[in-house]
Amino acid sequence: MILKFTGLYGSTIDLNGCGEIQGYEFLEPPIEYRFVRAGSPISDWMSPERRCISLLRPARTDNTVRTRGLDTTDLTIETRGLAGNFILLVWPRE
């Protein structure tokens, strides 16, 4: 299932409760965005790229290597821009 978020530039997207996410893409991007966890930025402001961004990374368990996505506990995305709307697609980890 793909989650779709829309909003005005300058608004915040609440991803808390989505479990892990494996990727995201701005179809209509804001000027900049950043990830924030529990009120503290965990990334710098970034300009969106017009492609799907993978958040999967390797995680080792004993002798097994698997992948993990980004944990969405207390996670939001802040956006910046003037007088526009964004569309964000998010792929939860299944």
Report how many domains make up the chain: 1
Residue-wise pLDDT tens digits, 6-35: 999 999 999 998 999 999 999 999 999 999
Q: Is it the case that residue 67 has pLDDT exceeding 90?
A: no
Structure tokens at 27: 């179809």
Q: Work out the average pLDDT over 56-74.
A: 87
pLDDT tens for 28-37 read 999 999 999 9
For the entire predicted model, the pTM comes to 0.89
Question: What is the domain range of residue 16?
Answer: 3-92
Q: Using CA atoms, how far apart are residues 39 and 45, in angstroms rounded to an integer?
A: 15
Residue 35: its pLDDT value, please? 97
CATH number of the domain bearing residue 75:
2.60.120
- Report the largest interatomic distance among the alpha carbons of the chain, rounded to a whole angstrom: 51
Residues 82-93 have a mean pLDDT of 94
